[in-house]
Amino acid sequence: MSIQYISDKKLFLLNTKNTSYQFRVAEFGFLEHLYYGRKIPDSADYLPVRLRHGFEANPYEAEKDRTISLDVLEQEYPGFGVSDFKTAAVRVQNGDGSDCIDLRYVSHKIYEGKYAIEGMPSLRENNGDWTTLEVLMRDSSSQIEVTLVYGVLGKYDVITRCARIYNVGNKNVFVQRAHSVCVAFPTDKLDAISFYGSWGHERNMERMPVRHGKYTIDSTRGISSHYYNPSMILCSQDATEEQGDCYGIALVYSGNFAMTVEVNDFKQTRIVAGVNPDTFCWRLAPKEHFCTPEAVMTYSYEGFTAMSHNFHRTIKYHLIPKQFIGKRCPVLINNWEATMIDFDEEQLMAIAEKAKTLGVEMFVMDDGWFGRRTDEYRGLGDWQCNWQKIPSGIAGLSKRIHSLGMKFGIWIEPEMVNEDSELYEEHPDWCIRIPGRNPTRQRYQLVLDFTRDEVIDNIYNQLYEEFKDAEIDYIKWDMNRSMTERFSTALPAERQGEVCHRYVLGFYKLMQRLTDAFPRVRLEGCCGGGGRFDMGVLYYAPQIWCSDDTDAIERIPIQYGTSFIYPPFTMGSHVSECPNQQTGRVVSIDTRAALAYFGTFGYELDPNRLTDEEQEAVCRQIDYYCRYGEVSAQGCYYRLTNPQTEKEYAAFLSVAEDQTKAVLCFIQQVSGANKGIIYLKLRGLLENENYEILELGMTCSGAALMYAGLPMPQIKADNEARVYTLCVMQE
């Protein structure tokens, strides 16, 4: 069993294939973290050393023993207000107005299988080798109980965590902080890696040494956001792609989050992660409980690549909907960059018909098909077909597309409403806003109040009635604004701190109902591009639109940063119009395709405006992706360059799980005169097998390609890509 309890030492051992995580019941019932790292065969309970530290408080039970201080003893789930002055994992306002919570061990249970979280996504069991540990802790004074829940997925070196907070007293309690995870490290020699950005520049990797004090990444926008991804890596300062200690933590959550790394003067580092306390306060009535979102942790001593592969395999086999595991998205064309909102049915059919001749497998109709939607200022909330634009209706149009031998997809933005809509005119109180205060507008739309079941029911019923008779294969779910004026008229004053989290629960509820009603429909998440690229969305949607910035060159750092946590097959990545709509850059259609191969390959353009040469290129690209997309998007991904330090060129590689095929992308970003040869050392190949490089007509051993390298061509142009296909030679 991957979880053991050593009763004589009161020690918990959580072991995966390559890692160990240990904690124990220490003096007076405190739960003390001991070790997380490379697998060890024995106990780490010898590690804590009790010293008397000046100006440190001691538990009452310690009497005159001044060596036990919670500010130094690393608690597994620290409370607030009882002498641990570092960032707490949990904080409450008790029924008497006090804010202390002092948790002590009560009991535990271990069982085979994977726990679930009611109303929220979490990793799926999917016949994995899961074991679960639940540890009950109690504050005897405030009558608060917390159950710490751990899941262990041994083969992928993954440990998951969440916490259930119970009010077992007879007075209301307000939970003011509820983190999912806390991990301690007995060193301050670590680097912290986070992924920052903005619209069009999501998930840029930033690495810095941890420092005294607190470093926090977070979101208060109601979504996980473009600005910080709900994930973080702590690593040894010598960590590279191939060596060094790497600890990754990612939340299965799509709302306001916070991750804080804190270093104290005793060379201790703590990381906590969970719901953002700045926009959270949850009333717990007697006998009620609150459950935090799930946190997914993984460790590797073999650098960033191995850590990423742990995340990638876990997302592939234990997070995305089971029916889409290993299934590539059909090559699609989306009409947004071709027409935006201004289109009619025959324009769409002209795009689809031409795309079909080029080999495109699915047509996706974007924004503009519903209600009064003649521009961005009206129509959201009214999910009925605009018959003036689409005389055949959604069912009729989908049948016309299917008659071409193509699949059909459609865009929705179900969380939003325009004031110029029937829904708003009938239910102006159904959006999140403060009565008597003018609301903030973003894209001239307001956020529907998904804390209310009647609002979710209305949107679901509209969508179901519109889609039930149509032949829909794919839905792109968009969301195009941040949440402001966080207030629900359906909640009393003392529960307004619950709005943001309840909204996320409502978002999950609607996603679950829609995917239950249409289980064969592939969902793609989107939020102004990549503003909600998180594991919570991936539970329902096997892919997420990576960024609204479709410029191939700008996609290099975006997809690079994204790949640390998320696999390529989750990244919506398309060949778009040129000059690019976001940047104006002109890049060859082959370079645009090279980036898109390492994602959910498709097109964002009008194929009728392509030149003959470009049309021939599209045919070749689709043929290539249909043959090798299983490798480029679904394979084991290797980052061969870091775009933050290497400005001349970029390179990355995907290798099939059986290592018999690989797809390599090399992009020369800056050309120059009289340059030397670049030798790329590949990774992940079979040393003793010979690989044919199809585009070069040459054969090399895996060992030679990995250790001696492959010479790259000298290209006399900027931003030109080459894609190479490697296949093991058959005897």
Place of tokens 């989306």: 334
Alpha carbons 68 and 387: distance in angstroms, whole number: 73
Residue 50, judged by CB atoms within 10 A of its CB (0-12, 13-18, 19+), counts as middle
Maximum Cα–Cα distance across the chain: 86
Token pair of 195, please?
Answer: 């992924």
β partners of residue 206: 194
- 366 assigned to active site: no
Minimal CA–CA distance to 106: which of 73, 83, 138, 67?
Answer: 138
Residues near 165 by beta carbon (within 8 Å), at least 6 away in sequence: 90, 92, 144, 145, 146, 175, 178, 284, 289, 290, 291, 292
Cα torsion 478, 596, 567, 684 to 10°: value is 180
**Among 145, 614, 630, 720, which one carries the catalytic annotation?**
614
Minimal CA–CA distance to 180: which of 280, 310, 314, 321?
Answer: 280
CB-based contact 483:439 (threshold 8 Å): no
DSSP label at residue 14:
E
- 534 assigned to active site: yes
**Among 534, 548, 554, 720, which one carries the catalytic annotation?**
534
Token pair of 503, please?
Answer: 């909204």
Collect contacts of 397-404 with beta carbons under 8 A, ≥24 apart.
Answer: 397/345, 397/348, 397/365, 397/470, 398/470, 398/471, 398/472, 399/471, 400/349, 401/349, 401/352, 401/363, 401/471, 402/471, 404/352, 404/353, 404/356
Alpha carbons 67 and 73: distance in angstroms, whole number: 10
What distances in angstroms separate CA 176 from CA 74, 256, 292, 293, 390, one per listed residue?
22, 14, 12, 15, 50
Q: Residue 9 region, left (φ>0) first, then alpha (ψ -120 to 50), else beta?
A: alpha
Alpha carbons 665 and 641: distance in angstroms, whole number: 11
CB-based contact 477:511 (threshold 8 Å): yes
Token pair of 551, please?
Answer: 């410029």
Q: Residue 166: how many CB atoms within 10 A of its CB? A: 20
Q: Which are the catalytic amino acids?
A: 534, 614
